[in-house]
A = this chain, B = another copy of it.
């Protein structure tokens, strides 16, 4: 989603996900080889131009997503796929966000189609990006949108998929369904989607920016909980993201008259509640943004002490002097 500003090193270091993970997986799937500078200053080759490798532990699996704490990547060998020859983008408006969210798991289980993307945006998220980009806002009666991308090797296959997805969304309560007529029209929808985060960042001096993930079947319950927490604590909590992956981004936006002091008092309690809900749903506090400094204090809410001890042991094993990105992920 950050294609205009991200680098491949960062993609691998965070094991970046994004909008196409549901069909294409996250970054590690495409990393065939790494040249790594170890914390000891040595050059280590891992993998190569190889599609399979069981010669020792799967170090690529461990290093991808290690957030710069286990090694510095100086060469990355990527596996490429043929570009899909056909594609279409469907923009579906729902009068009720709950209906849009409920449609997502059904999309795959009932049609057997794995979409390339299935992005959920609630009205607030979509409208914020429209205002930011000076685009027209969505119609009044649209409470949420799904942006579904379908791709495949040939046009006929994608047309068949588009018909099946449209039928399902209509049955699920969509009242308006627009298919992008060309690449420029599709890109217009995606530009709005990609600017939601930036729009919120520009809109408030202090805010929360969450990267929640739950089992896909629990997405409706998570969205319900977000609305309840917003009511309980006061901040707006617009949601959007990669619904088919169970990955929802939430901005937590204080009312305009809140002081930083009040915000600092409320946010930790709100996050404690949110993460406790997340743990009950079998979720995690980061799907793709990572832990870094920001979320490390919250790790114990969703993972066990033995899991955390294992992460620390691995860090000590590869970086005994703690030289690389110290203090990230855990103390």
Provide the residues of chain B in CB contact with A245, threshold 8 Å.
Answer: 51-52
**When chains A and B are docked, how far (Å) is the Cα of A311 from the Cα of B49?**
20
Q: A88 contacts which chain B residues (CB < 8 A)?
A: none
Instruction: Give per-residue flags for A70-98: 1 if the beta carbon is below 8 A from chain B beta carbons, else 0.
Output: 10000000000111010000000000000
The residue of chain B having its C-beta at the shortest distance from the C-beta of A47 within the complex is B284
Note all chain B residues with C-beta closer than 8 A to A59. 62, 307, 310-311
Instruction: Assess the A51–B22 pair: CB atoms within 8 A.
Output: yes
Chain B residues, Cβ within 8 Å of A38: 306, 310
B44 and A304 contacting across the interface, CB-CB below 8 Å: yes
Q: Check: A302 CB closer than 8 A to any chain B CB.
A: yes
From B26, B52, B282, B310, A52 is in contact (CB under 8 Å) with B26
Do B154 and A42 touch (CB < 8 A)? no
* A283 cross-chain contacts in B, Cβ below 8 A: 48, 50
Stretch at the interface among A125-133, A202-210, A212-220, A231-239: A212-220
Assembly CA distance A15 to B130 (angstroms):
45
**Copies held by the complex:** 2
What's the least CB distance linking A221 to chain B, in Å?
Answer: 13
* Interface stretch (choices A140-148, A192-200, A254-262, A312-320): A312-320
In the complex, which residues of chain B have a beta carbon less than 8 angstroms from the beta carbon of A112? Answer: 82-83, 85, 153
**Interface residue count on the A side (C-beta < 8 Å):** 88
Please classify the interface of chain A as helix (H, G, I), strand (E, B), loop, or mixed, using the class held by over half of its residues.
loop
| CB atoms of B246 and A50 under 8 A apart | yes
Inside 8 A of A55's CB, which chain B residues have their CB? 284-286, 291, 295, 299, 302-303
- Whole-angstrom distance from the CB of A38 to the nearest CB of chain B? 6
Is the beta-carbon distance between A113 and B82 smaller than 8 angstroms? Answer: yes
Using A62-B62, A82-B113, A317-B313 as known contacts, say yes or no to A56 and B291 having CB atoms under 8 A apart.
yes
Evaluate contact between B299 and A56: CB separation under 8 angstroms. Answer: yes
**8 Å CB interface, A30-79 against B:** 38, 40, 42-46, 48-62, 64-66, 70
Known: A58-B64, A310-B318. A51 touches B247 (CB 8 A): yes
Contacts of A282 in B (CB 8 A): 48-50
Q: Which residue of B lies closest to A56 (CB)?
A: B311
- Are B51 and A81 in contact (CB-based, < 8 A)? no
Between A and B, 8 residue pairs with Cβ closer than 8 Å are: A26-B52, A53-B284, A53-B287, A54-B291, A56-B307, A157-B157, A310-B318, A313-B318
**Additional A-B contact list (15), CB under 8 Å, known A25-B29, A56-B307, A57-B65:** A26-B52, A28-B58, A38-B306, A49-B282, A50-B214, A50-B215, A50-B282, A52-B288, A54-B65, A57-B70, A57-B311, A60-B61, A153-B160, A313-B318, A317-B317
